[in-house]
């Protein structure tokens, strides 16, 4: 089976050598499911790997819009509808200047297996644009979102493809996108999740990814007879996921000491101050450089400095590391630092934050490692709770939703840990998560025939 996997990886390398992140994600998944493939050789006879790595549909489109100075701007829009074997395509929309088709193919592929780890029926998709929301006025963001939706609306729907937020897309953008979707389709339905609470949004969706990651972390530590209480934690990012990770960590009496944004990172030994973070990054979109104004003992290390000196956020010694910004933010050098610092747990909250060699280094150095597709599934889980509330025109209370999220995250941990054990790799949650997600999608694809 190793040869079968290698031949598939060689093939993608040849046909799309420029899609490096996609290749990284496919390599991670396929190499870790070899034990499952060996037990199920019939999958090769029906070319399952060839099929599962190919997105069902890839859309790219022109997004023209007019800025506040009357200048016409053009961005590129994307939606990768990766796999609908177990449900309608579901996954976020990212607005970030550096994205390309590679970004959305890798995110859509990861999302397919993430969604399959939940107890819900959702396929995988991802989309977005190279539009950079930094420094744009509300009206510019609105005009961009309206133009983006004027193409996307014909491809999405409550039973077809349900986008949500991701980097650079929060409630504000989702609100503008939904407004345009409703105008163009004349439908008020759950074709988008992450909506503001006033028009079909769900309680707990904003908090869900970060809170879910911490529920997962506590369950994981408990299974090693440990707890988050009194642990120091290095968190990266200062957006939706990072903020709610930090907030929930305090509830478990852990001490988050770092956060970061595109301008640099903060090291606050006494613990990141939530009120300042909220004011700077949630209520406004300011640089973390301003954090030290109210917190003079904390250190701000600007981004260009940590590039030059190679001194970065992962040099800060902590018990736990929870990357929550973006992909490939932990490379092999960082992994070596993290291990050297005596860190016990690496719990990935952003999508694919560790490179393949970093993951392998963690695993071979006995770090307890949890992969993003399991840890950050709380966001998409609560998105589906939003969809079911929209479909029934009812709304659930905060308490019920929080409890459902907690139970779902614990179940994901138990399921992937059991799967890892079943295949002879106890404690290897990468193998556990990939086999469990793959098995569900592959089985559904086979039962649906060659389509």
Is 437 one of the binding residues for ligand 2IT (CB under 6 A)? no
Residue 73 phi, psi (nearest 5): -115, 155
Kindly state whether residue 55 participates in binding ligand NDP, applying the rule CB under 6 A: no
CB of 379 to ligand 2IT, least distance (A): 4
DSSP 8-state symbol, 17? T
Q: For residues 141 and 380, which CB has a smaller minimum distance to ligand 2IT in the complex?
A: 380
Contact string (CB under 6 A) for ligand 2IT, positions 343-372, x = contact:
--------x---------------------
**In sequence order, which residues have a C-beta less than 8 Å from that of residue 335 and are 6 or more positions away?**
354, 357, 358, 359, 361, 362
The residues, any chain, with a CB within 8 Å of residue 330's CB and separated by 6 or more, are: 314, 321, 323, 338, 346, 353, 354, 355, 358
Q: 129-145 b/e with 16+ CB inside 10 Å = b?
A: bbbebeebeeebbbbbb
**Contact residue for ligand NDP among 55, 87, 237, 432 (CB under 6 A):** 237
Does 166 contact ligand NDP by CB under 6 A?
yes
Taking residues 254 to 293 in sequence order and writing x for each that binds ligand 2IT by CB under 6 A, - otherwise, the string is ----------------------------------------
Distance, CA of 225 to CA of 378 (rounded, Å): 23
Backbone angles phi, psi at 373, to 5 degrees: -65, -20
Residues 159 to 198 in contact with ligand 2IT, rule: CB under 6 A: 164, 166, 193
How many CB atoms are located within 10 Å of the residue 102 CB?
17
Q: Cβ of 426: how many Cβ atoms within 10 Å? A: 13
One residue of 112, 118, 202, 240 binding ligand NDP per CB under 6 A = 240
d(CA 54, CA 62): 23
CB of 265 to ligand NDP, least distance (A): 9
From candidates 217, 238, 335, 396, binder to ligand NDP by CB under 6 A: 238
Backbone angles phi, psi at 318, to 5 degrees: -145, 165
Of 272, 221, 269, 226, give the one whose Cα is nearest residue 250: 272
Q: How far is the CB of 392 from ligand NDP (least distance, A)?
A: 22
Residue selected from 55, 87, 88, 92 as contacting ligand 2IT according to rule CB under 6 A = 92
The CB-of-360 to ligand 2IT minimum distance in angstroms stands at: 23
Residues lying near ligand 2IT in the complex (CB under 6 A) are found at: 90-92, 111, 164, 166, 193, 351, 376, 379-380, 383
Binding site for ligand NDP (CB under 6 A): 165-168, 209, 237-242, 261-263, 324-326, 350-351, 376, 379
């Amino acid at each position: 089976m190793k040869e079968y996997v290698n031949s598939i990886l060689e093939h993608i390398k040849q046909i799309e050598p420029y899609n490096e992140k996609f290749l990284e994600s496919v390599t991670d998944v396929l190499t870790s499911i070899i034990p499952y493939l060996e037990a199920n050789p019939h999958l090769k006879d029906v070319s399952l790997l060839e099929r599962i790595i190919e997105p069902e549909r890839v859309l790219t489109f022109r997004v023209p819009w007019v800025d506040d100075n009357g200048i016409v701007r053009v961005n590129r829009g994307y939606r990768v509808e990766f796999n609908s074997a177990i449900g309608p395509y579901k996954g976020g929309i990212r607005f970030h200047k550096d994205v390309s088709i590679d970004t959305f193919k890798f995110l859509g592929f990861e999302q397919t297996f993430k969604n399959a780890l939940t107890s819900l029926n959702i396929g995988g998709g991802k989309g977005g644009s190279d539009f950079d929301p930094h420094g744009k006025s509300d009206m510019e963001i609105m005009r961009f979102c309206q133009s983006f939706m004027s193409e996307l609306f014909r491809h999405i729907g409550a039973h077809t493809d349900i986008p949500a937020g991701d980097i650079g897309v929060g409630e504000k953008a989702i609100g503008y996108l939904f407004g345009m979707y409703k105008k163009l389709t004349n439908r008020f339905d759950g074709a988008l999740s992450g909506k503001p609470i006033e028009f079909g949004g769900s309680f707990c969706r904003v908090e869900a990814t970060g809170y879910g990651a911490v529920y997962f972390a506590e369950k994981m530590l408990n299974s090693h007879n440990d707890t988050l209480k009194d642990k120091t934690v290095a968190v990266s990012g200062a957006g939706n996921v990072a903020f709610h990770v930090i907030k929930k960590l305090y509830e478990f009496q852990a001490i988050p000491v770092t956060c970061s944004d595109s301008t640099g990172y903060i090291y606050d030994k006494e613990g990141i101050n939530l009120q300042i973070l909220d004011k700077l990054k949630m209520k406004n979109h300011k640089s973390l450089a301003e954090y030290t104004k109210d917190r003079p003992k904390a250190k701000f290390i600007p981004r260009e400095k940590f590039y030059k000196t190679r001194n970065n956020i992962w040099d800060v010694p902590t018990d736990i590391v929870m990357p929550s910004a973006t992909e490939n933010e932990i490379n092999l050098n960082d992994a070596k630092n993290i291990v050297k610092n005596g860190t016990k747990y690496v719990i990935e909250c952003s999508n694919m934050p560790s490179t393949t060699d970093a993951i392998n280094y963690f695993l071979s150095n006995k770090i307890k490692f949890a992969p993003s597709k399991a840890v950050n599934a709380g966001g998409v889980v609560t998105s589906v709770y939003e969809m079911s509330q929209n479909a029934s025109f009812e709304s659930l209370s905060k308490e019920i939703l929080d409890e459902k999220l907690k139970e779902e995250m614990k179940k994901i941990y138990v399921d992937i840990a059991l799967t890892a054990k079943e295949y002879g790799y106890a404690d290897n949650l990468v193998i556990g998560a990939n086999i469990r997600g793959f098995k569900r999608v592959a089985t559904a694809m086979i039962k649906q025939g060659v389509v």
